[in-house]
Structure formats: structure tokens, C-alpha cells
């Protein structure tokens, strides 16, 4: 199908430095292809977020298709999910490749590679129907597929950067900064980002990090935060919350940590606070999994702590109750990770209407976010005493806790709803189409100039 576009825009910038131009190229015929390894019924936060954002985009006169892998993060799925599925207006196609050893690092790497190959084959067969493709960093090397599609198929692609690799691997001492693998990965990132029609990162710190590594992308990188649905996750009083009753949390001041307890999260500071508060009427509840979960459980058992309990990941329909079963929400980021990751659990915590305590470095974007929302406090890594003191303060001052919780929910409604975020994604898609048309026009002008100035004939 041939589409004619009129390229005209009034470009402005928002507070994050993102463009806010009026949309002009996205039409009801525009087809966005989204590639991500994790998608429901998987319970990886990235998959849940992609599900929500694609649903919102599909309601704004744009066709959306998703290509994903088979569940591996989910804890209740015993068989493969359907290879094809319609989730409202979004067409979902899943790889035939099942997840192998999904809890092991080696297994995750193998699964990521298998998904990459399957996604590449799918793109070769289906590329013609996509106007723009969006690729997440799940797995981390998936955006390379966009680069190849651009070179071979002439496709415009957008990179959605959840986590920055190889920087995370270097920070975790998995690989040395000067190792040939790290150098090669950074070189690949440079070309992938340089050729992308758009790049989405989750915080201003991540944006600055990417620009330092690839200054040429400054004009096409957008900061778009994660989100939560304030209509789905609403503040529920503990006395009316069946989850709080089920786990005996109604009559005790409860601190909730919900989500991944992974290598990028500071659990040591939380553990120190738990030890200091072992004789206080405060209960810690950890909901989820991750590489550090077993270590924390072992430490709790060794120290004989009775003020905490551990629960598995919860189904999506349970989250509105599990997230509001406590009095405070906890978030943590390990030192050195503040520029590399942006915890999505922050936004569901905001929506739950509970005060937020974030344990993170001073340079983390969470400091500004929580201060701007006036919904809690940030505490520097390693300061378990300050964490314990603040929890005791809120345990005694219920009015202060209630005010912070109300501020949290209101702040999310004003800044981070699916509707607000979907419009920002749509602008990136529109800019991607705009860049494609400008490249076509430039190429046509070059051809016209060549035709109008033929090479002089040589005498024989």
C-alpha cells in the first residue's frame, strides 16, 4: 500500500528533553511490530508492561502485533501457551521454542539466543507488513535484530532499553570492562543505536549514559518512564483486603517488597533494618523471586528472625491486593546500578497509595521522583539504621503515612498512567515514520540530481 505523507511539525520539548511535536504520520493503517522475549502469561515485569502498552496503542488507531517467546518466568504455567492469540486488538504470535532451564544464567542465555533466531526467521517472513518494529532489550542483544533488519530489509526500528548491557555485567564483575566481549558489545551497541530511528530509555540517568557512549543519538533518544494503572491498582484499606487477612497482616505494621530480588537490588540494607527491628511490631513481607531471594531467606533463618515472611510471585489479578496489603512499599537499587536499571516496581508502588522508601545511591533518579511526589524518602545504600528509624517513625505517625500514600497515588495519576505513557510511545513511532520519509525524500533528491546532471560523454 502506498501512503502519501505531508511532513510538517511544530517541534517543542518537554521537561525530560523529549520532543512533543504534533503527530502527523501515524494512521489507522500504520502497523507496529513489537518483539520481546517475555509476554503474558509470563510474569516478568517487562512482559506485563508490554502487554499494557500495546493494548493502549491499539486503542489509538494503530495496528499492533507482538512476537514473543514461550513462558519461562511464570511459575504456574505447565504447558506451552498458544502460538497465536488475539488479546483484544493486539495480535500475538509466540515462538515454538520452549524455555530451557529458565532459572539458570546459562539457560537464560541459551533461551535468549534461541528466541533471537526464531524472531529473526519470523521477521524475514513477515517484515513487509510492519511499518516500524520495536525491540526490547529482553534478551539484551535483541535490538541487533533491528539493525540487521534495517540493513537487509530497509526497516525502521526503535530500541526500548530496559537494562544497559554490557555495563550491568561489568558492574556485577561478570566480565571485565576491557574484556574483548565487553568492547565488542559496546561497539555493537554503538551501531545499533546510531542506526535506530528512535531509542526509548526509562530514566534521565540512562539517557545520559547512552549519550556518553554514542553522542550521535542525542536527538532521537526519549525518556519514557514505566507506568501502572491507577484504575486497576487502587488504595485498599487493609481491613478490607482479603490478601492482608489471609497472611495475617491486618493488625501489624507491614512493609512490602514486591518484585524481583535480583543482582541489581540492594537486599543487604533491608536485611540490616530487619535485624535492628527484630523486636518491634513491624513485619516485612517479600513477594517474588530472584537471584538473591534464597540468600536473604538463609540469612533470616540463620539469625532466627521472626519478623518477615516470603511469598511467591502473584498472579496479575492478585497484585491489587498484595501490593496494598502493607503500610509501606520498599524499593532498592544496588550501588553502581543507578544509571543502568529503572525498577518498574516503583510505579505499582505509587499506584498502591502507600508511602515509598527507596534504598538507592544519591545519584539515582528515584531521589528526584520521590521528592517531587512527596510520597516517602530515599535512603543511601548501607544505611540500615536510617531505614529502620524511618519505618519506626511511620509506624507511630499514621497521619504522615496516609498523606504520603495519597500523594503517591495522585502523582502516578498525573504522570505515569498507561494513557499518558502510550501517547509518548506513539510520538516516538510517529517520529520514526517521519525519519523514514525524510530519508526517502533525500534519496529521491539525490536520484533527481544525478539524472539532471548526467556524466559527460567521453570521446571514443
pTM attached to this predicted model: 0.88
| pLDDT(9) > 50 | no
Backbone angles phi, psi at 356, to 5 degrees: -115, 130
pLDDT of 75: 45
- Scan for cell 492478585, then name that residue: 318
String of DSSP letters for 136-165: ESSSTTTHHHHHHHHHHH--EEEEE-SS-T
d(CA 64, CA 460): 59
**Lateral strand order in the sheet of 221-223:** 84-87, 90-94, 63-68, 31-35, 132-136, 156-160, 198-201, 221-223
pLDDT of 364: 95
In this structure, what C-alpha cell is assigned to residue 439? 530519508
Distance in Å from the first CA to the final CA of the chain:
46
| pLDDT(14) > 50 | no
Nearest of 223, 197, 260, 247 to residue 368 by alpha carbon: 223
Strands (E), 245-348: 253-258, 282-287, 308-311, 328-332
Backbone angles phi, psi at 364, to 5 degrees: -70, 145
Using CA atoms, how far residue 194 sits from 12, 160, 203, 296, 376, in Å, is 23, 14, 19, 41, 39
Bridge partners for 309 per DSSP = 285
Give the confidence band of 385 by pLDDT, cuts at 50, 70, 90: very high
In this structure, what C-alpha cell is assigned to residue 447? 536520484
Contact 158, 428 (CB under 8 A): yes
Give the confidence band of 439 by pLDDT, cuts at 50, 70, 90: confident
d(CA 160, CA 146): 11
d(CA 201, CA 52): 17
Q: Residue 329: enclosing H or E segment and its boundaries?
A: strand 328-332
pLDDT in tens, 194-211: 999 999 999 999 999 999
Nearest of 3, 307, 260 to residue 131 by alpha carbon: 3
Region 404-427: mean pLDDT is 96
String of DSSP letters for 211-227: HHH-GGGGGGEEE----
What whole-number percentage of the chain has pLDDT above 70?
A: 88
Contact 83, 93 (CB under 8 A): yes
The CA-CA-CA angle for residues 272, 275, 278, to 5°, reads 150
Region 154-164: mean pLDDT is 94
pLDDT of 395: 97
| pLDDT(3) > 50 | no
Least confident of 123-127, 294-298, 353-357: 123-127
Q: Residue 356: enclosing H or E segment and its boundaries?
A: strand 356-359
394 C-beta neighbours (distance < 10 Å), count: 23
| pLDDT(235) > 60 | yes
d(CA 37, CA 364): 28
Nearest of 19, 315, 43, 45 to residue 162 by alpha carbon: 45
Q: Residue 195: enclosing H or E segment and its boundaries?
A: helix 180-195
Nearest of 228, 74, 222 to residue 161 by alpha carbon: 222
Identify which has the larger pLDDT, 78 or 120: 120
417 C-beta neighbours (distance < 10 Å), count: 18
d(CA 324, CA 312): 16
d(CA 423, CA 53): 10
Q: How many helices (H) and strands (E) does the chain have?
A: 15, 14
Bridge partners for 328 per DSSP = 255
Q: Residue 404: enclosing H or E segment and its boundaries?
A: helix 398-415
Cis preceding linkage at 165, omega within 30:
no
What is the DSSP-derived secondary structure letter of residue 36?
-
pLDDT of 40: 87
Least confident of 1-10, 37-46, 434-443: 1-10
d(CA 146, CA 188): 12
Amino acid at each position: 500500500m502506498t501512503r502519501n505523507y505531508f511532513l510538517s511539525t511544530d517541534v517543542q520539548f518537554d521537561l525530560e528533553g523529549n520532543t512533543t511535536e504534533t503527530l502527523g504520520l501515524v494512521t489507522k493503517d500504520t502497523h507496529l511490530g513489537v518483539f520481546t522475549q517475555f509476554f503474558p502469561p509470563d510474569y516478568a515485569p517487562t512482559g506485563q508492561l508490554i502487554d499494557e502498552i500495546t493494548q493502549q496503542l491499539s486503542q489509538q488507531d494503530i495496528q499492533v502485533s507482538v512476537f514473543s517467546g514461550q513462558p519461562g518466568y511464570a511459575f504456574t504455567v505447565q504447558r506451552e501457551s498458544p502460538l497465536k492469540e488475539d488479546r483484544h486488538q493486539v495480535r500475538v504470535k509466540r515462538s515454538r521454542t520452549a524455555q530451557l532451564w529458565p532459572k539458570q544464567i546459562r539457560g537464560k542465555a541459551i533461551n535468549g539466543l534461541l528466541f533471537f533466531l526464531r524472531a529473526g526467521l519470523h521477521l524475514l517472513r513477515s517484515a513487509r507488513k510492519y511499518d516500524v518494529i520495536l525491540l526490547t532489550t529482553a534478551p539484551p542483544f535483541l535490538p541487533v535484530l533491528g539493525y540487521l533488519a534495517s540493513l537487509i530489509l530497509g526497516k525502521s526500528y526503535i530500541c526500548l532499553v530496559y537494562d544497559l548491557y554490557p555495563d550491568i555485567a561489568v558492574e556485577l564483575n561478570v566480565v571485565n570492562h576491557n574484556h574483548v566481549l565487553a568492547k565488542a558489545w559496546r561497539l555493537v551497541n554503538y551501531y545499533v543505536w546510531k542506526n535506530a530511528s528512535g531509542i526509548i530509555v526509562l530514566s534521565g540517568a540512562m539517557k545520559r549514559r547512552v549519550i556518553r557512549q554514542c553522542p550521535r543519538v542525542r536527538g532521537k533518544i526519549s525518556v519514557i518512564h514505566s507506568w501502572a494503572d491507577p484504575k486497576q491498582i487502587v488504595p485498599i484499606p487493609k481491613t478490607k483486603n482479603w490478601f492482608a487477612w489471609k497472611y495475617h497482616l491486618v493488625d501489624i505494621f507491614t512493609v512490602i517488597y514486591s518484585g524481583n530480588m535480583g543482582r541489581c537490588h540492594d537486599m543487604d540494607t533491608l536485611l540490616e533494618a530487619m535485624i535492628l527491628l527484630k523486636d518491634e511490631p513491624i513485619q516485612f513481607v517479600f513477594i517474588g523471586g530472584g537471584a538473591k531471594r534464597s540468600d536473604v531467606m538463609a540469612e533470616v533463618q540463620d539469625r532466627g528472625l521472626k519478623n518477615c515472611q516470603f511469598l511467591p510471585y502473584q498472579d496479575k489479578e492478585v497484585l491489587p491486593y498484595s501490593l496494598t496489603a502493607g503500610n509501606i512499599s520498599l524499593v532498592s537499587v544496588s550501588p553502581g546500578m543507578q544509571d543502568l536499571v529503572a525498577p518498574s516496581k516503583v510505579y505499582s508502588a505509587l499506584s498502591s497509595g502507600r508511602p515509598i522508601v527507596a534504598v538507592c545511591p544519591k545519584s539515582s533518579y528515584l531521589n528526584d521522583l520521590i521528592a517531587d511526589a512527596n510520597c516517602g524518602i530515599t535512603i543511601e545504600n548501607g544505611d540500615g539504621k536510617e531505614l529502620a528509624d524511618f519505618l519506626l517513625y511511620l509506624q507511630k505517625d499514621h497521619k504522615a503515612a496516609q498523606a504520603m500514600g495519597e500523594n503517591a497515588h495522585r502523582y502516578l495519576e498525573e504522570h505515569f498512567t498507561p494513557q499518558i505513557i502510550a501517547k509518548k510511545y506513539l510520538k516516538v513511532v510517529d517520529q520514526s515514520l517521519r525519519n523514514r520519509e525524510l530519508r526517502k525524500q533525500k534519496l529521491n533528491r539525490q536520484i533527481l540530481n544525478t539524472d539532471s546532471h548526467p556524466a559527460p560523454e567521453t570521446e571514443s
